Amino acid sequence: MNPKLQQLYDRAYKELTENLLPWWMTYAVDKENGGFYGAVDINNKPVPHANKHIVLNARLVWTFSNAYRVLGDPKYKEMADRAFNYFKTYFWDKENGGAYQEVDEFGKPVSRIKFIYGNAFTMYGFSEYFRATGNEEALEMAKIVLEKMEAFVYDKEYKGYFEACRENWKHDPWLHGVNHDPSFEKSMNNHLHIIEAYTCLLRSNKAPLMQNKVREQLYVMLNKIVDNDIHHYVVFQKRDWTPTTREVSYGHDIEGSWLMMETAEVLGEPEAIRKTRDVSVQMARACLEEGFNEKGFMMTEYDIMTDRWSKRVSWWEQNEAVVGFLNAWELTGEEKFLDASLKCYDAIDKYFVDHVGGGWFPVLDLDGNNVSPIKANGWTCPYHNGRMCMEIIERYRKIKAEEEAK
């Protein structure tokens, strides 16, 4: 076993089981109103009256389901059940299908729009919950989201998916998804998380339609959203895929480099695997050469037109860099990728992990100082860092089993 991989595994396992998940189970559980708090501050105190957002709550379903599947500890199943049951009760739109964007602290809907990014995470969480527990209801609900998205959000002319719909799933470009402007009808970020959701559902639903949709979406990512001249994603597009902005999002690039590879492998088609491997390695190489700094941080964004870099870095970009570089090492055998993965993990442990109060700081300045007043809110969750740890664990186990079989 490569000692660097062994070190990554030992540290990730310890972080996941002794700090990250215990912090969420201790400080984020809403014992009064059910589910989890909408926000928790930097001192581990719930933010009074904070609304509860679809993204955090769907990601909590995914995270604890994945933790139970990977680690087998029943306390994680208890948390997965809690997250799923709360989501089913309060976020799920029983009349129209799919999920609301936001509810208040008591579970009353305050935003009923169909936020497609959030509904993709609903599918992702429910699909993983089924994988972990065998709960058929969760699988059927994931299929309902799929059905609604294909019926109302899918662009039959240009392919891909729109950003947001009204409560009844009527597409409305004036509703914001993750796009900045109504003319930006499609976004990389939306499609990146749709493909991970569809891929997770494909693991349990091998119907030809599902296989075809995942294949199509993978090739949309590879051919329409990746700029293969510079090996980065185009962040925002018009409906016909014409780029509307020229920034580079390094966190999404390195995240997508391994997520697309995961999709190709689950799809299981040799040509898709070959093409995706080449694109993924090129994207990881570009991120390493351009966006990875001496401190070990994966930078956030670079604006090509203005030559400006973001002044802050987030926890999630670092998590995805650890996995993305690990994935590139597995694909190429180039030790520099494994070194980068470990260096980024070192930076995470030094700067992002709160070794005094527990949990993580979500946003830092470029010197490594925390600049966020919260540790949890609608977007700040244990999905990126939890998934990083569990990806390391699963990849380590796979490599170890292969070595022992030789």
Residue pLDDT, tens place only, 127-183:
999 999 999 999 999 999 999 999 999 999 999 999 999 999 999 988 988 887 888
Residue 31: partners with Cβ closer than 8 Å, 6 or more residues away:
none
In contact, 175 and 163? CB cutoff 8 Å = yes
Structure tokens given for 182:
């109504």
In a domain? residue 406: no
Identify the segments of the chain with pLDDT beneath 70: none
In a domain? residue 172: yes
Residue 4: partners with Cβ closer than 8 Å, 6 or more residues away:
338, 339, 342
Distance CA 149, CA 74 (A): 33
In a domain? residue 194: yes
What 3-state class would DSSP assign to 248?
strand
> 119 — alpha (psi -120 to 50), left (phi > 0) or beta?
alpha
- Assessment of whether the complete model's pTM goes beyond 0.85: yes
In a domain? residue 167: yes
Specify the pLDDT at position 181: 81
The domain containing residue 31 runs over which residues? 3-401
CATH number at residue 338: 1.50.10.10
> 377 — alpha (psi -120 to 50), left (phi > 0) or beta?
beta
Buried/exposed 235-252: b ≥16 CB within 10 Å, e otherwise: bbbeeebeebebbbbbbb
Distance CA 62, CA 196 (A): 12
Q: Calculate the dihedral angle through the C-alpha atoms of 394, 7, 295, 56, rounding to the nearest 10 degrees.
A: 30
Number of structural domains found in the chain: 1
Residue pLDDT, tens place only, 290-301:
999 999 999 999
In a domain? residue 262: yes
In a domain? residue 301: yes
Residue 387: partners with Cβ closer than 8 Å, 6 or more residues away:
63, 66, 319, 323
